[in-house]
Amino acid sequence: MSQSTKADRRFVLVMLLSFALGLGVALAVFLFWRSHGGNLQPSATAMALMVCPPFVLSSVIAATPEAAFALVLGVGTILFANGFLYAGVAAGIYFLVTLAGRKNETR
């Protein structure tokens, strides 16, 4: 197996794990929000926004609680947006680590 194949597999693994982590965090934040009736304390809202920035869309979901389709669209958007956000951050970190590793190999 070539070095680039190992790097490609490692990159795909990092992307999958970070996407799954982002989905899990968003789901946990959403379930915590729903368990509190859609009303969180300001400190809890700030913490939720730090770990799940797409949670800002929860105000849209709270405005239309009777529409099940709106709830599904809103929650799906929050989940997948956070998953892609985490995957994008992981890709950037992976790039920087790979770049630093190559720089150290040439010395």
- Choose among 31, 86, 32: nearest CA to 54: 86
> Of 31-35, 62-66, 80-84, 101-105, where does mean pLDDT reach its minimum?
62-66
User: Residue 24 and residue 28: Cα distance in Å, rounded?
Assistant: 6
Please tell me the total number of residues recorded for the chain in this structure. 107
Q: What's the whole-number mean pLDDT along residues 59-75?
A: 76
Tell which residue, 53, 49, 50, 69, has the closest CA to residue 61: 69
Say what the pLDDT of residue 62 is: 67
Return the exposure string of 92-106: e unless at least 16 CB atoms fall within 10 Å of the residue's CB, then b: eebeeeeeeeeeeee
Domain count, the chain: 1
Quote the domain boundaries for residue 16.
3-105
